[in-house]
Amino acid sequence: MPYDFRGGRGVRTLVSLAAATTLITAGWAGTHASGEGASAVPAPVSASAHTAVVADEPDSFIRDVRTWLMTSEDGRTYKISVALPAGYTESGSAYRALYVTDANAEFGIAVETARLNAPGTVVVGIGYDNPGQGFAASGVPRTLDLTPTDIGAATPSGGAPEFLSFLREELVPRVERDFHVDAGDRALMGHSFGGLFATYTLLHNEGLFQRFVIASPSLWWDEHTILDVESEYAAANDALDARVFLSVGSLEETTTGFPMTSDMTRFATTLSDRAYTGLELGGHVFEDETHLSVIGASFSRGLRFIYAAPGTTIPGTELPADPVAAAPQISSHPVDVRVDEGEDARFTATATGVPAPTVHWQSRLSSSGDWVSIPDATATAYVVSGARASATGTEYRAVFRNTSGEAITDAATLTVAATGEEPGQGIPSEADLTDEMRGTVSVPDSVVRGETVPVTVGDEFAGEQVDVYLFSTPVPLGTHTVSADGVVSVVIPEDAALGAHRIAVSAAGGALLGWDTTTVVAPSAGAGTAAPATLPDTGAEIDPALVAGALLLLGAGVGLVVTARARRARQRS
């Protein structure tokens, strides 16, 4: 029985996993001719090898890859790649077919993993016709195709029902028309958002696929809406006919900003406890693996499990026991806030952990005072209502705790502009943002909700405090100390309106130093997933040293121009 869950609930999902902009370099396999040297091609794989049992010896390198563009009835265009096993023939027993999402990033690794672990498999990659490889190049279309609900972000989402219909009614029939594959032995394999889509398909399958490899699924999407889909399925069905392997890396819990590991283990436990008729379930948590490093291990173990001969036990595929315990890890820290007297000041912080951590806010009157717990401040957001000028300098932080440990955020400082301050002493107005002051500071052309971005002020302001605001309606981005390189780092609010904005910087005394334009965009999803030093999805962990080096080189070039502009601005003031 199909279920259609189009109504997205994903306010929090708008700061989605950095998996969507990762830089995986798994490539498209090249096409090999079948002319001279054909006699060296091994004989066709036997029927028993490619219908049920994994052969002892791997295939030779694949003979060729057939690639074409295919536009669905909904107008979405896909790049389809079909890798044929060595010795492929149109006669004899039909070959099993393995369908793989995210082919731009994962087709190469899927083909080689199948060649080594599941010889005699036709691999069908579903990707997009765009330059480059990896999730970044296909972030927009994959977010649409692989997510089950529309969360209302700038990047379209919620197209999984249509994508599944494309597979069922268009792609699978064409593959089975053009290639010698077994209509009764289809498998679907996906990772990250692809794992989320595979989970969605499992619960809307209606016999389309018999086997599933679900790796690091983004079950967190839209406040875990896929878990509601499973609950509704369970209420109406006793059977779930499929052989399924679930997997995740143990480090995903602490490196993606999302409860990837605990979500997967809990979901596996739920499926097992349902005791569905026809469900053969395996799973594994790969120790010391991240959202990207786990891909190869998940695909290899998964293919060996789903294609194992009846009665065969594959080591390391027993279901995880209890959800993996993990101490709290801070996902986002509170930032400095500046408001006019009488306005509300809002601080937010988030953390992951297993079990889910509790939170309690603390405050202190100055950096030398003691931290004091604020009564009833136990939500991820804390609001100082009607802030008074006397509260200026008060610091706030959040403390997250669970049975595995504790994590404390950085402190954020509240600044309250007293009523009646002289003009120029408070938040700059629209009238202050003149063309003359434009470009004396520099910001990136686009910024992502919830992410930290550099604002270049100029090294002549090194060591000075500045206030940063996001316009049009001025939103304080905090008071910051300018680094030796003339840069401050600010966090774009997670609820910032999408589209064109201006970022303005003023001196601590209130004088405007300059402003620049930028565009606020939504995070690209699926890492996974939001990983450290990322991009949002996802999903990829990028070496902080590489990021620091890139920013340093960028800052050096930009700084030469901005410093001169800033000096001219100072002379004008």
Convert the pLDDT of each residue in 49-71 to its tens digit. 333 334 456 655 556 899 999 99
- Answer yes or no: do 399 and 436 share one domain: no
pLDDT (0 to 100) of residue 507: 83
- Answer yes or no: do 353 and 264 share one domain: no
Q: Domain with 396 in it: what CATH number?
A: 2.60.40.10
What DSSP letter does each residue of 184-216 carry, written as one string? Answer: EEEEEEEETHHHHHHHHHHTT-TTS-SEEEEES
Structural domain includes residue 315: no
Are 324 and 260 a contacting pair, CB within 8 Å? no
End-to-end alpha-carbon separation of the chain, Å?
70
- Fill in the DSSP letter of residue 430: G
Residue indicated by tokens 């202190």 = 364
Structural domain includes residue 371: yes
Structural domain including 76 reads: 12-32+47-306
Q: Which SS3 state, helix, strand or coil, does residue 179 take?
A: coil
Structural domain includes residue 242: yes
Question: CA of 544: how far to CAs of 68, 531, 534, 556, in Å?
Answer: 38, 11, 9, 18
- Answer yes or no: do 113 and 223 share one domain: yes
Please provide the size of the chain in residues: 573
As given in the structure block, the two tokens for residue 141 are: 């279309």
Q: Domain with 104 in it: what CATH number?
A: 3.40.50.1820
Structural domain includes residue 94: yes
> Distance between CA 236 and CA 238 in Å, rounded?
7
pLDDT (0 to 100) of residue 25: 31
Q: How many CB atoms lie within 10 A of CB 155?
A: 21
Q: How many CB atoms lie within 10 A of CB 431?
A: 6
> Distance between CA 117 and CA 293 in Å, rounded?
18
pLDDT band of residue 426 (cuts 50, 70, 90) is low
Question: CA of 318: how far to CAs of 117, 118, 188, 272, 570, in Å?
Answer: 19, 20, 20, 11, 67
Structural domain includes residue 467: yes
Could you give the dihedral angle defined by the CA atoms of residues 48, 53, 57 and 60, in that order, rounded to the nearest 10 degrees?
70
> What average pLDDT does range 367-373 have in this prediction?
80
Residue indicated by tokens 């410093």 = 563
> What average pLDDT does range 358-378 have in this prediction?
86
Q: Domain with 455 in it: what CATH number?
A: 2.60.40
> Distance between CA 221 and CA 8 in Å, rounded?
10
Structural domain includes residue 311: no
- Strand 372-373, strand 358-364: pairing: antiparallel
- Answer yes or no: do 277 and 379 share one domain: no
Helix (H), strand (E) at residue 407? strand 405-408
Query: Of all residues in the chain, what percent carry a pLDDT higher than 70?
Result: 76
pLDDT above 80 (res 34):
no
CA nearest 10: which of 165, 261, 289, 196? Answer: 196
As given in the structure block, the two tokens for residue 85 are: 């096993």
Are 3 and 229 a contacting pair, CB within 8 Å? yes
Q: Which bin fits 569, alpha (ψ -120 to 50), beta or left (φ > 0)? A: alpha
Enumerate residues 6+ apart whose C-beta is below 8 A from 109: 26, 295, 296, 299
Are 190 and 216 a contacting pair, CB within 8 Å? no
> Distance between CA 267 and CA 233 in Å, rounded?
14
Most trustworthy range by pLDDT among 207-216, 440-449, 508-517: 207-216
- Answer yes or no: do 361 and 465 share one domain: no
Burial of residue 439, with CB atoms counted within 10 A of its CB: 0-12 exposed, 13-18 middle, 19 or more buried: middle
- Answer yes or no: do 551 and 468 share one domain: yes
pLDDT above 80 (res 361):
yes
Q: How many CB atoms lie within 10 A of CB 426?
A: 19
- Answer yes or no: do 376 and 276 share one domain: no
Q: State which of 417, 449, 465 marks the end of a domain.
A: 417
- Answer yes or no: do 217 and 81 share one domain: yes
pLDDT (0 to 100) of residue 499: 80
- Answer yes or no: do 348 and 410 share one domain: yes
Convert the pLDDT of each residue in 122-179 to its tens digit. 999 999 987 655 666 677 899 999 999 999 988 899 999 999 999 999 999 999 999 9
Beta-strand runs (E) in 304-349? 326-332, 337-340, 345-348
Convert the pLDDT of each residue in 281-335 to its tens digit. 999 999 999 999 999 999 999 999 999 998 888 988 887 766 667 788 888 899 9
> Distance between CA 566 and CA 456 in Å, rounded?
10
Are 16 and 530 a contacting pair, CB within 8 Å? yes
Q: Which residues pair with 471 in a beta bridge?
A: 502
Helix (H), strand (E) at residue 467? strand 465-471
Residue indicated by tokens 């981005």 = 477
Are 239 and 278 a contacting pair, CB within 8 Å? yes
Q: Which SS3 state, helix, strand or coil, does residue 148 take?
A: coil
Q: State which of 261, 278, 306 marks the end of a domain.
A: 306
Structural domains of the chain, count:
3
| Out of 67-71, 214-218, 468-472, least confident range | 468-472
> Distance between CA 524 and CA 134 in Å, rounded?
13
- Answer yes or no: do 57 and 123 share one domain: yes
Residue indicated by tokens 């079948």 = 34
pLDDT above 60 (res 23):
no
Burial of residue 448, with CB atoms counted within 10 A of its CB: 0-12 exposed, 13-18 middle, 19 or more buried: buried
Q: In what order do the strands lie in the sheet with 211-215?
A: 64-71, 77-84, 121-127, 95-100, 181-191, 211-215, 239-249, 277-286
- Answer yes or no: do 137 and 177 share one domain: yes
Looking from the CA of 117 toward its CB, the CA atoms found within 13 Å total 22
Burial of residue 7, with CB atoms counted within 10 A of its CB: 0-12 exposed, 13-18 middle, 19 or more buried: exposed
- Strand 121-127, strand 181-191: pairing: unpaired
Enumerate residues 6+ apart whose C-beta is below 8 A from 231: none
Rg (CA), the chain: 27
As given in the structure block, the two tokens for residue 200 are: 């969605």
pLDDT (0 to 100) of residue 193: 96
> What average pLDDT does range 229-252 have in this prediction?
95
Per the prediction, the chain carries an average pLDDT of 79
Structural domain includes residue 101: yes
Q: State which of 370, 387, 417 marks the end of a domain.
A: 417
Structural domain includes residue 277: yes
User: In angstroms, how far is CA 440 from the centroid of its own chain?
Assistant: 34
Classify the C-alpha dihedral 300-180-70-85 as positive or negative: positive
pLDDT band of residue 280 (cuts 50, 70, 90) is very high
- Answer yes or no: do 17 and 156 share one domain: yes
